[in-house]
Amino acid sequence: MPELPEVETIRRSLLPVVTGRDINRIVIDSPTVFALPDPAIIMGRRIAAIRRRGKYLLFWLTGQAAAPVWLIVHLRMTGRLTLQPEATPVKKHTHVRIELTSPAAPEPAWLIFQDTRRFGRLWLQQGVSPDVWPECLAGLGPEPLDPPVSADCLAVQLARHRGLSVKAALLNQSVIAGIGNIYADEILFAAGLPPDLPVASLTGANLAHLAAAIPAVLTRAIELCGTTLRDYVDGWSQKGRFQACLMVYGRSGLPCRVCGHEIRKKKLAGRTTCWCPVCQLL
DNA sequence: ACCTACCTGTTT
DNA sequence: AAACAGGTAGGT
C-alpha cells in the first residue's frame, strides 16, 4: 500500500493533532507486530514531532529527565495508522492502540495501527539517532524530494546497480528511498523509459528525464493525498485521489491516455509492471 | 539476480 | 481452486 506519497500524507494528517499529546496507555494485541519489552519505556511520553524517512514514519517521544525515544512505523502493504475517538469500538485487524491525552483537549483519542496482512511493524529506538539505526534506516538511499533528486545524484546511486533493470533499481530502497510499485511504473512512464531497460544502458539524457520525473510524480501524488486502490487512508481515514491520475499502473489492456496504444503488463523484478510500448519506446 | 516466505482478503 | 495485491527480509 503505502509508498512515499501515502506515508507523507499520513504524516501531515497526523501532525497537527498528535504533536504535543501524551501517551496515556498502550495496548498491544499482536506482539509480533510490535515487540515492546516494557510499556513503561514510552508511557507518559509526549509526541514532540513526526518525521518521515522513505516509507518509515518516525515519532519523536520526549519525557521529563529521560533521553528521547523514537517510535518507528512501517506500514508495508496494508498497514493503516489512524486517529479514532475515545469511544470507537475496536475494529478487525487492530494490532496496536495508543491512547493520547492533551492538556488542551478534554477527550483522549486513540492512535490505531491496523493491518490486514500483518506485514507492518513498529519498533522502538533508544539513544541512537534513527538515521544510523542499522536494522532499517541506515541502508536507505537519499530522499527524492528534499532537495529534489538530481541527475548527478541519480547517476551516483545507480552506479552500484548497473546489472538491474531501471524498474528494479527504482524499487531498491538503497538507491532512492520511498518509491514502490505504483510510482516506479508512473515515474518510468513520465520519463518515457521502458521498465526493462538495463541501468548500464541509461544515457545522460535518460538520467535527466528520470531525475525530473521522480519529484514531479511524487510531488503531484502528495498534492492529491496519495493513491487509494483498496486499503490506503490517511490519519483521518480519508482516501487519496491520485488513482484518477494513474497513466499505466493497473491499466493493462486499456488504451494509453497519451497515444491510445494498449498498455501492456509483465512481471519484472518479481512485481507486476505496466507500461506503454509506444510512449516508453527508446 | 532471482525465489520464497510472511499474512489475509478479493478477484478470476 | 488458484492467482493476485501497495513491501521487504532472507535464502540460494
> Which residue's entry shows cell 524498474?
A167
Integer distance in angstroms from CA A222 to C1' B12? Answer: 33
Q: Annotated catalytic residue: which of A45, A53, A55, A80? A: A55
Question: Which tens digits make up the pLDDT trace of A242-282?
Answer: 999 999 999 999 999 999 999 999 999 999 999 999 999 98
Rounded to an integer, the average pLDDT of A170-175 is 97
Integer distance in angstroms from CA A260 to C1' C6? Answer: 26
A108 vs A85: CA distance, rounded Å: 7
Which residues have C-beta within 8 Å of that of residue A127, sequence separation ≥ 6?
A: A67
Mean pLDDT check: name the lowest of A128-142, A174-188, A215-229. Answer: A128-142
Q: Is the shortest CB-to-strand distance from A173 to strand B under 7 Å? A: no
Q: E-strand spans in A55-191?
A: 56-63, 66-74, 79-85, 94-101, 109-115, 121-126
Q: Which residue is nearest to nucleotide C7 (CA to C1')?
A: A76
A210 vs A84: CA distance, rounded Å: 40
For residue A266, indicate whether it is catalytic.
Answer: no
Range A66-101 burial, b when 16+ CB lie within 10 A, else e: eebbbbbbbbebbbbbbbbeeeeeeeeebbbbbbbb
A63 vs A42: CA distance, rounded Å: 8
Position A132 scores a pLDDT of 65
Strand C nucleotides, any atom under 7 Å from protein beta carbons: they are 4-9
Name the nucleotide with the smallest C1'–CA separation from A74: C7
Q: Which residue is nearest to nucleotide B3 (CA to C1')?
A: A270
Question: Which tens digits make up the pLDDT trace of A218-227?
Answer: 999 999 999 9
For residue A3, indicate whether it is catalytic.
Answer: yes
Question: Which tens digits make up the pLDDT trace of A25-67?
Answer: 999 999 999 999 899 999 999 999 999 999 999 999 999 877 8
> Which residue's entry shows cell 510512449?
A279
Name the nucleotide with the smallest C1'–CA separation from A163: B1
For residue A92, indicate whether it is catalytic.
Answer: no
Q: Annotated catalytic residue: which of A51, A220, A257, A271? A: A271
For residue A271, indicate whether it is catalytic.
Answer: yes
Q: Is the shortest CB-to-strand distance from A32 to strand B under 7 Å? A: yes
A268 vs A4: CA distance, rounded Å: 21
pTM higher than 0.85, yes or no?
yes
Average pLDDT taken over every residue of chain A: 95
**Which cell numbers hold the place of A57?**
514514519
A8 vs A145: CA distance, rounded Å: 11
Cα distance from N-terminal residue to C-terminal residue, chain A: 30
